Structure 1
Amino acid sequence: MQSRWKIKLSLYLNYFVFAVLLNSVGIVIARAIKLYGVDEKQASILEAFKDLPIAIVSFFVASFLPRLGYKRAMQIALMIVLVGCMGMYFGNSFLAAKMMFMSVGVSFALIKLSVYSLVGIVSDNPKEHSSLLSSIEGFFMVGIASAYFLFPIFYSETQPHNWLKVYLVLSALVLISLLFLSMSNIRIEAPTAGANWRDDIKNSLKLIWNTLVLVFLFSAFFFVMIEQGIMTWLPRFNEKIFSFSDKLSVQMASLLALSLALGRFLAGWLSKHISWVIIVITCSICAIALLLLILPRLQGGDEAGVVLSSFTEVPLSGFMLPLIGVFIAPIYPLLNSAVLSHLPKSLHAPMSGLIIIFSALGGTLGSRIVGTLFKSIGGVNAFYFLIVPVVLLIVSVLLIQAIIRKQPAHAS
């Protein structure tokens, strides 16, 4: 297909814009605690306002997305999130933040469903599928890293609400993305959907009874619990445990996004030469080892000390903790690719919906648990909890591999 490069470029651009918006939740939580009079437990509800709409929209839309059309779905998503960004800028309240993340959740469901479905269509085999999906997810992490630099640009000690101007910039990016998408020529014959939307939803529900799908959904749930637990609360962790300034806390959190991006780009290359199972299990073990190496050194650090505001003042542990991203980054895209490439392409849209639903639920629960633990037992002990889902993830991966060995691939 001669126009494939245009389709792929469109996927990268849309994913980048939503990466900035979707994963700013940790930054907004830190701002909300400081400016809107809420505590860690209350602020953690923002994750639910983001993730639950993703789960709900994915459930009802995934199966008949081909009928709606991938391009139209992405256009609708961009228009919805544009309204959300402007609402946050003019609303300037915790309620406005909730509504903004709700718009982001609804929109991202449409974007991710479209992206995951299109990757299956423009890939010719499992290795190409794994490589493309890993690189797109890697670019997503570049977008997240950009958010950690973009937001602090507008921080001001004399004008505490000046940070909201970032939503004007984000609105402009959404408009550019919408314009680019509208001008692109995306014409792909999508897999045949069911007779009606009821049949589409029934087909999605039937997938859950597939043993491979069921075990995979639990693994996706565990992974996102880990990733969002760290990503959402790292800016607050930096403030309270390391005593970083507001701006430095966010900027240091960008190292996590950069390490995630590096990990996913490496996964895209490594997956062409090494079994995905070996990569995932090795990375999981390294993630546990890194947490056990760093967290004991931080015990008793929940009381803020002298505020640090420069990179030169950051202790070694402050640089090491974000490196966990390199190890957890390859897990999600490789898991997704392994399962999608072993299902018929006609099931990729409903399967993508299930992936997004369980990922959203895992993200909400992970963030909520870490936020609650953060308030009750401190940030360091809260991060120890993340070792539990990593162990459960390793068990799930071994089960998935055992099931896949008995099934033929369907990517080609």
Structure 2
Amino acid sequence: MKNISLKIALFINYFVFAALLNSVGILILKSQNVYGVSENLAGWLDPAKDMTIAVVAFFVGSLLPKFGHKKGMLISYIIVFVGCLTMYFADSFFTVALLFACTGFSFAIIKVSVYTLIGVVAETDKAHKSFMSIIESVFMLGIVFAYIVFPLFNSETDPKAWLNVYLVLAALIAVVFIFIAFSKFDLPAEVPSSLKEDVNTMGNLLKRPLIILFAVFAFMYVMTEQGIMSWLPTFNQKTLHLNESLASQMAVILMLSIAIGRFVSGFIIKKIHWYIYLTSCLVAAALLVIFALPLASGLAVTNISTLENVPLIGFVFPLIGLFLAPIYPIINSTILSATEKIHHSAVAGLLTFFSAVGGSFGSVVIGRLFQVVGGDKVFYFALIPLTILIVVLFFINKTTKKTEINAD
């Protein structure tokens, strides 16, 4: 199979970093329970990784092709390997924030590499969209892995037992490092350019109407998804009254629904125009928020530790992932396909930058709103970015049609 080594490398990269990055929801809850921090302070764990991603991604988008994608990946794994071991031995809220900063730095390199290399693997527009959806579904499976593995290390008798998960992750990272080191990436060489030229390239791209729309889309979408994903375990414990382990385990429903949604969308997008499909998904997500969240009001305050006692909303609300799932990879693919391949790395850098800023903003806002309006109302605010996304999709569709006409 063509490019099989490269495809496997992309899948493994995304899987491992998905587990590291998106354990933030578990660590937000854990930081409140173990280190005694407030919701507001715990909400800053997302910016610890996302703002690091944003800063690194803005510069790495143009520099990475000349430095080498493979070298970048290997350095990324060394950094997170050290971060995991530091977390195991140091054990503090500061160390948690430091680990996410290390993970954010590394993921900026990984994401730009992966998005650029997809252009090498996929030769047609439809193949690009399909592969993008599949690789994003692999990302969600990595998150599912995190939400299953972390609760397994919780212990009522040993409060530090959960830290052992970082030894497991360090071992997994070491294995992946070896695989990447011996994988062959058959990539064309880049013509060297100066840092000033690289920054100018990013700036010129931001002058394009399609890229501006793309920036707004990335910010709004990740703000919505990250806000829900990072705070769902806290919502499950503090609003639905599940115990800590069950609160994290129930969040797996959201991750699985996103993984399934992205995998299925890889096939659906070949049959239905992306604009009709994604607009329908956004409307369905908004309707789920409107009709499901009232189920969170007025619940009896009890300590729920078994599945049969979990309120209905604990199963229904996470299904929003089915509708959010296709949006991110398909729009990313649409924009990348409408941009010259020589600019794919720079566009991936811009995408990663605005996604990271949106993720940081969403988590901090939800953390603040959790304290102000309460957990039973906090996710209603997702309706604002969902509405904006519907409008942005309309203009992206309109702009890409013009681009196609001009290309013809």
Q: Distance in 1 between matches of 2:406 and 2:52?
A: 31
**1:208 alignment counterpart:** 206
Q: Distance in 2 between matches of 1:67 and 1:160?
A: 46
Three-state SS of the structure 1 residue aligned to 2:353 is helix
Q: Distance in 2 between matches of 1:393 and 1:3?
A: 36
2:167 is the alignment partner of 1:176: no
**2:348 alignment counterpart:** 352
Three-state SS of the structure 2 residue aligned to 1:66 is helix
* TM score, norm. by length of structure 2: 0.98
1:148-163 mapped onto 2 (5 Å cutoff): 148-163=147-162
Structure 1 unaligned blocks of 5 or more: none
How many residues align structurally?
407
Q: Which amino acid in structure 2 is aligned with residue 11 of structure 1?
A: L
1:104-253 mapped onto 2 (5 Å cutoff): 104-190=103-189, 192-193=190-191, 195-253=193-251
Three-state SS of the structure 1 residue aligned to 2:240 is coil
- Give deviations 1:285-305, integer Å, cap 9, x for gaps: 00011111111121244xx71
1:39-78 mapped onto 2 (5 Å cutoff): 39-78=38-77
Q: Distance in 2 between matches of 1:224 and 1:409?
A: 30
Q: Distance in 1 between matches of 2:143 and 2:23?
A: 8
Q: Distance in 2 between matches of 1:152 and 1:270?
A: 34
Q: Which amino acid in structure 1 is aligned with residue 35 of structure 2?
A: Y
Choose which of 324, 327, 335 in structure 2 pairs with 1:328.
324
Structure 2 unaligned blocks of 5 or more: none
Q: Distance in 2 between matches of 1:305 and 1:194?
A: 63
1:298-337 mapped onto 2 (5 Å cutoff): 298-301=296-299, 305-337=301-333
1:249-328 mapped onto 2 (5 Å cutoff): 249-301=247-299, 305-328=301-324
Q: Which amino acid in structure 1 is aligned with residue 288 of structure 2?
A: L
Shift of 1:315: 2.1
Shift of 1:157: 1.0
Q: Distance in 2 between matches of 1:3 and 1:107?
A: 28
Contact 1:74 1:111 in 2 (8 A): yes
Q: Distance in 1 between matches of 2:142 and 2:29?
A: 19
Q: Distance in 1 between matches of 2:192 and 2:198?
A: 5
Three-state SS of the structure 2 residue aligned to 1:64 is helix
Q: Distance in 2 between matches of 1:410 and 1:168?
A: 54
Shift of 1:186: 1.4
Q: Which amino acid in structure 1 is aligned with residue 285 of structure 2?
A: A
Q: Distance in 1 between matches of 2:219 and 2:260?
A: 22
| Percent identity of equivalent pairs | 44
Q: Distance in 1 between matches of 2:359 and 2:106?
A: 17
Poorly superposed stretches of 4+, deviation over 6 Å:
none
Q: Distance in 2 between matches of 1:393 and 1:203?
A: 27
Three-state SS of the structure 1 residue aligned to 2:359 is helix
**1:341 alignment counterpart:** 337
Contact 1:67 1:193 in 2 (8 A): yes
Shift of 1:30: 0.4
Q: Distance in 2 between matches of 1:158 and 1:205?
A: 55
Q: Which amino acid in structure 2 is aligned with residue 253 of structure 1?
A: A
- Give deviations 1:323-359, integer Å, cap 9, x for gaps: 0000001000011001000000001000000000000
Contact 1:64 1:193 in 2 (8 A): no
Q: Which amino acid in structure 1 is aligned with residue 23 of structure 2?
A: S
Contact 1:342 1:409 in 2 (8 A): no
Choose which of 355, 369, 390 in structure 1 pairs with 2:386.
390
- Give deviations 1:126-174, integer Å, cap 9, x for gaps: 1000000110000000010111100011001111221011000000110
Q: Distance in 2 between matches of 1:204 and 1:121?
A: 21
Contact 2:66 2:192 in 1 (8 A): no
Choose which of 371, 376, 381 in structure 1 pairs with 2:372.
376
Contact 1:295 1:384 in 2 (8 A): yes
Shift of 1:201: 1.4
Comparing 305-314 with 7-16, greater Cα deviation is found at 305-314
2:402 is the alignment partner of 1:406: yes
- Give deviations 1:78-134, integer Å, cap 9, x for gaps: 111111111111110000001000000000001000000000122111100000011
Aligned-residue RMSD, C-alpha: 1.4
Q: Distance in 1 between matches of 2:198 and 2:213?
A: 22
Contact 2:295 2:312 in 1 (8 A): no
Contact 1:215 1:396 in 2 (8 A): yes
Comparing 277-286 with 181-190, greater Cα deviation is found at 181-190
